[in-house]
Every structure is written in structure tokens, then in C-alpha cells.
Structure 1
């Protein structure tokens, strides 16, 4: 019997089981992140917010990535990928629990604080799980493997709008003008009830996160030889000497900023009279689910394509298509604009995992530092939506799609040039 072949077979089987377990984590953080798209219109109505104020949801959530990714990287370097994943799930669970007192107090700032804690947990998960999956096998298939794991993330983002629409946006929405006609006490009672409708959904999510943390703790995840043992070595400055990582950090910044901006305004955009043709906010959540469902389909198909095609070429092609769809979204109206913006999800599908895998390629023991920098760049989801909110407040929601279009232009550059740089 060929002993070496048997050992290789056991190694592949063990890695396959580990990949299947870790993908459950991708589902959870995709679900939690996409719920922000439902929270924004909900809290905007509950607290009578402007677009810039409402976008503080994303600013707080994704700002945590910038502030906490380096501490998260040090945590993962100290305790390893498995314990880092467990810690991330537990912290996210605590953040979800904090929604209960925030809703009870009816204070917008407390919601933002709960979101920051929740996002801190997801930051730890991103730092630990993304490089773990990318390194759990041959480098040539890392983009394909990470895209497969991210397909579970897309499944979470597909289901979250349906969940949020059913449990959070279930009440009949009332505009500020309608509320102004009500007695002050009745209008206040409506806003308080709207805020408190998030308590039970987020409590359930907290329980699920704690259960998943316990399950991961009991499961024996394999280590990554030559990487995990040296994860604490080297400095960020050493990692940044690799140009493909430097350009990749910017690519993640602009991609996440564009993706989050589009998702954040989608419910309101689709319910505009000239676009959604009479859709209510709750009905619009079904199209948000289709938007993220497109990302799920794209990632499943992309897993196969990326195993055989050049990831850079596919990334560049998808960036070009999204730029065209955004142009149609800005210039058209009615069903054409509606389906153009919903279709963007399909072509967003491979972008994050492909950029991430290209950026950490060939980093070796510096992979942990590179991963921390890339997760820090997710702060684009905090910065770009604020800029989009300002444009929407001053020039209209449809014009604000120009900023995401410019973000995808940089991704096109990264696909064709930036990712090919070598140290």
C-alpha cells in the first residue's frame, strides 16, 4: 500500500471537512452584515434621520474594521486561527445581545454602540477565517476555494433581507409628513415601537452565534504548516513592501465601499416612484434578496470558473460589466434601472474573495499581517457610504451611484495591473 498516498488522502479529507465547518461562519457574518441594509431604512424612519445620519450605521459598523483589525490580527497571532474564530463569534454574539437594551432605551447612539461591538467580532472572524480558507490547500486554487466559502456568505446575505423584511420591516411604514399630522405622543409611540421591533431578531442571532462558537471550539481544525506557527512574526511594514498587497488594500477599500453603498440605498431606491413602480419598502426587500442571491449564484459559478481561468481576467471583466450596469442605473428609469441595479449582485460575486486571494499570494509568514491590512481596508464600507449619503442628500439618490462607479474603475486597474506587481 502506498503510505504517502494514504496520508495525502487523509490530509485532503481533513481539509475538506474543515472547509465545510468554517463556511458556516461565512454564512453568519454575511447574514449579520446584510441586515444593516434593512436596519438603515428602519432606523431612518424610527429616528427621523437624514441620509448622512442613517449612513452612520455603516460608518460605525465598518469603522470597527479599521480600528479593530490590527488588534484582531494580534489576537489571532497569539491564539491561532481556531481560537480567533471562537473569540470572534463570542464578541459578535455580545454585540447582538446589546440591541435589546439599545431598543429599550430608544437611543440611536446605543444602536451604533451595539453595532460596533458586533462588527468587532466580525472583524476578528474576517482576519482569521479568510486567510485560513485561502491557505487550506494549493495556492493555485486559493481564489476558487475562498470564492466557494464566500458563496455561503452570499447565502447569508440573500436570506437576511427576507428575514429583516418579515420581522423588522413588517409594520406599515409612515413618512415624516404622516407622523407630523399625528399627536406628538402617538408619533413618539410609533417610533419607539419601530425601534423595539429589532429586539427579538437580534436576541435569536446572539443565541445562534454563541452556539456556533461552542461547536467550533469542540471541533479539531487543522493548523497551516509554515504559516500559522509564524503568524506573529514580521511587521506590517514588511508586508507592505509587496506592491500587489498595497494595491490590494485599496481595491478592498473601494470594493467594499461600493458594495455597501449600493446595498444601503437599495430599499429606498427601489421604492422610489420612478423606479419601483409602486413598491413598498417591505416589497423592495425581496429585490434586495435577489441582489444578494445573484452574488450567491455568481460565487457558485465562479468557484468553477476560477479553478481554470485567470482570476485577474475574470475580475476585470466583471468590473467592466458592473460599471455598465451602474451607468444604466443612473441614466435610466423604471424597470430598466431596477433590474440593472439588482443585476450588479451577480457580478459583485467573485470580487472580494478574488482580490483577497490575489493580495495575500506569496506572502508566506507575513500572511497574517497582510490579512489584517486587507480587513482594515474594509473601512471603505464606512467612508464611501457617507460620501454617497451626502451626494444623495444634495443631488438625489440616482446621481449618488456615480461614486460606486468610480470605485469599480479602480478595481478594473487592480485586475489588469495592480495585482501583477511583484516584490
Structure 2
């Protein structure tokens, strides 16, 4: 019994780290479009190719990853994913030193392929390493770590890359002093990430993991299940909106809000992802069969987390933390209006998000800032 508990703790520690890492890598690449735009003097369209190089790996590699799992198994696929992430991270060293935008894209794609390997192969392990009745709790925990990482990554960019740099609103040139300084600062976070994922790969190789049954049931076409297809289309639209906003937010705020530097805009990007984190925490209990009194008791710690997180990433600006908390309360109220029904709540949130994006498009200043973040 003691050995099983130890295996569960070790397994959850390692896979918790994996979920944290690929959440961090995803939003780090998305937010990196702003410094890359400044380094190479790119247009907005060209800068967004960085995000495209990352997310194109999902449709290209998801099905092949399933075939790879059939060949080498889940454990070796996880290890291969971590090694690919490390390789992609280390490619950013020559990409920034030269500097070369095509090499940036190559490194991004290889890193993304590693993330795809992990996305496909890690989830089954989180379910399999412990008792079945608590599998959903383990998945919620790993997803929470993933959400925390998505908030930390933009904040780290503001500290590690943008700190003290004056990047103008118009397209910069690679020959500019601040553009070169930004290029010099890019490799360090990737070196750290590459080393960490290699250490995690060694840990995965060293520990004993349960054998996952690949299943021998009759395979059916997903087209026979309209809810699966519609759900996939819904996720497609949601990810496009989430990533599209996140990829543009730094440069948008620099151009639309007077007095906002690239460094400060990155901290607001962290708050944007923090909103997604708070929403996930709300969703974990709002759509459960938990008593309403219990749900309300969980509201306080989540709002406290929102206040601390919003204050922390803005160098303990309590005013920003308070505004972020009010936005979180608005999210909770919308979920109450949805009466806990997922479809109704989804429709309300979709309409609210669309209206906020429209408001962002036609406004400037503080209204635009909080519209895009909300």
C-alpha cells in the first residue's frame, strides 16, 4: 500500500511538471511574437507566423502521434516529446544569435511537435497512475498546473526580455540597440526550459509506470457522432479566439493605450491568461453536482487567488488586482445566470466574449485594455 502511494506521489509530481511545462511553452511562444516582431522589424502578419508555426503542429502531428504510440508505447512517446521540446528550445540559441527568423520558426515547430506528443500521451497516464474513482481529480490538478503556467509565461517575458527596453510602436529594425538586446535575452528562458525537460525525461525513464491498454474494441467513424464533430468545431473556434487575442495583445496595447510599454503590455497578457486560469477553477466546481452552499464557499479562495495573481504580475499593483477580481466576479455571475448548464453558460460566454472583442476593436485607452483582457 505504501509503495502504491509513493508511486502515485512520484507519478503525479512528474506528470504535474509535464503539464506545467507544455502550458508554459505554449503561452511563452504566443507572447514571444511581440519581441520577435521588434527584433526582425516584421509586420503583424509576419510576426503571427510564429504562433502559426506552433499550432500547425497539432493538425499535422496528432494522428501520426497515435501511430507512434502504437509502435513505441506511451512511455517512450512521452520521453520522445520531452526530447523534442528540448531540441526545439536549444534551436532558439542560434536563432537569436544570428539572428534568423526562419530558424525561430523551425525551433518553434519542433518544440510544438514535442508538446503534441505530450498532449496525446500524458493524459492517459494521469488517469492510470492512481485509483479510477479519483482520476478526474488528478486530471483537474494537472490542468490547474497547466493553467498556472500559462499565466507565468507572459509575466516571465516581461521580466526576462522586455525589462528596461524601449521598443517603439512602429516596426523596429534588427540594427537597433534595443532590438539587439531583446535578441540577446531570448535564449536564456529556452535554455532553462530545455534543461528542465531533459531532467523530466530522465525522471520518466527511471520511474515505473503502469502499462496502458491501447484497447481492442471495434473502431467507429467519429462522423457518426455529431456531438463530437460539433464539439471539435467549438474547440477550434475557441482556441482560435483565445490564441488570436493572446498573440496580438502586447502589440495592440502598445499601440492603443497611451503610456503602455512592451514590458507592461506583457504583464497584462499574463492577466489575460490568468482570467482563463480563474475560469478553469470556477468551471471545476460550478458544473458539478456540489451543493450551492459549497460552491459559494469555494468562491472566496478563488477570488483571493485572482486578487493575488493580478497584483503579483503587475509588481503588486493592488488596484489592478482589485479590477481583475471584479472581472472574476463577473465571470462567476455569468455562470450563475447559466444555472450550471454547460450549453447555456457556453452560449452566454460566447456572446459576452464577442461583444468585448467588438468593443476592443472600436475603442482605445482603458476601455480597450479591459475589454480585450476581459
Q: TM-score, normalised by structure 1?
A: 0.67
Deviation sequence 1:98-125 (CA, Å, 0-9, x none):
1011112211101000001000100100
Q: Post-superposition shift, 1:16?
A: 6.7
Q: Is the 8 A contact 1:92 1:209 kept in 2?
A: yes
Equivalent position of 2:194 in the other structure: 206
Equivalent position of 1:82 in the other structure: 75
Residues 92, 270 of structure 1: CA spacing in aligned structure 2 closer, same or farther, 3 A cutoff?
A: same
Map of 1:165-176 to 2, 5 A cutoff?
A: 165-175=158-168
Equivalent position of 1:230 in the other structure: 215
- Residues in 2 aligned to 1:318 and 1:144: alpha-carbon distance in whole angstroms: 23
Equivalent position of 2:252 in the other structure: 269
1:342 aligns with 2:364: no
Find 1:294's aligned residue among 254, 275, 291: 275
1:249 aligns with 2:232: yes
Equivalent position of 1:406 in the other structure: none
1:220 aligns with 2:208: yes
SS at structure 1 position matched to 2:41: coil
Equivalent position of 2:61 in the other structure: 68
SS at structure 2 position matched to 1:272: helix
Equivalent position of 2:109 in the other structure: 116
Q: Is the 8 A contact 1:145 1:303 kept in 2?
A: no
Q: Is the 8 A contact 1:143 1:311 kept in 2?
A: no
Map of 1:73-222 to 2, 5 A cutoff?
A: 73-133=66-126, 145-175=138-168, 187=175, 190-222=178-210
- Residues in 2 aligned to 1:155 and 1:58: alpha-carbon distance in whole angstroms: 20
Residues 177, 122 of structure 1: CA spacing in aligned structure 2 closer, same or farther, 3 A cutoff?
A: closer
Q: Is the 8 A contact 2:82 2:201 kept in 1?
A: yes
SS at structure 1 position matched to 2:158: helix
User: What number of residue pairs does the alignment pair up?
Assistant: 324
- Residues in 1 aligned to 2:170 and 2:116: alpha-carbon distance in whole angstroms: 39
Q: Is the 8 A contact 1:329 1:336 kept in 2?
A: no
SS at structure 1 position matched to 2:221: helix
- Residues in 2 aligned to 1:190 and 1:277: alpha-carbon distance in whole angstroms: 20
Q: Post-superposition shift, 1:338?
A: 2.2
Q: TM-score, normalised by structure 2?
A: 0.76
Unaligned regions of 5+ residues in structure 2, if any? 291-337
Two-structure CA RMSD over aligned residues (Å): 3.2
Unaligned regions of 5+ residues in structure 1, if any? 1-5, 181-185, 344-423
Q: Is the 8 A contact 2:249 2:269 kept in 1?
A: yes
Q: Post-superposition shift, 1:324?
A: 1.1
Q: Post-superposition shift, 1:218?
A: 1.7
Find 2:40's aligned residue among 47, 53, 56: 47
1:317 aligns with 2:302: no
Deviates more, 1:133-142 or 1:284-293: 133-142
Higher RCO structure, 1 or 2 (CA under 8 Å, sep 6+) = 1
Q: Post-superposition shift, 1:191?
A: 3.6
Q: Post-superposition shift, 1:240?
A: 4.3
- Residues in 1 aligned to 2:201 and 2:40: alpha-carbon distance in whole angstroms: 34
Residues 138, 71 of structure 1: CA spacing in aligned structure 2 closer, same or farther, 3 A cutoff?
A: same
Q: Is the 8 A contact 1:18 1:222 kept in 2?
A: no
Q: Is the 8 A contact 1:93 1:205 kept in 2?
A: yes
Residues 246, 314 of structure 1: CA spacing in aligned structure 2 closer, same or farther, 3 A cutoff?
A: closer
Q: Is the 8 A contact 2:151 2:273 kept in 1?
A: yes
Equivalent position of 2:26 in the other structure: 33
Residues 129, 319 of structure 1: CA spacing in aligned structure 2 closer, same or farther, 3 A cutoff?
A: farther
- Residues in 2 aligned to 1:338 and 1:281: alpha-carbon distance in whole angstroms: 14
Deviation sequence 1:246-299 (CA, Å, 0-9, x none):
2232222222111110110111222334xx342111011111111222222332
Residues 89, 311 of structure 1: CA spacing in aligned structure 2 closer, same or farther, 3 A cutoff?
A: farther
Residues 238, 294 of structure 1: CA spacing in aligned structure 2 closer, same or farther, 3 A cutoff?
A: same
- Residues in 1 aligned to 2:8 and 2:122: alpha-carbon distance in whole angstroms: 14
Deviates more, 1:69-78 or 1:202-211: 69-78
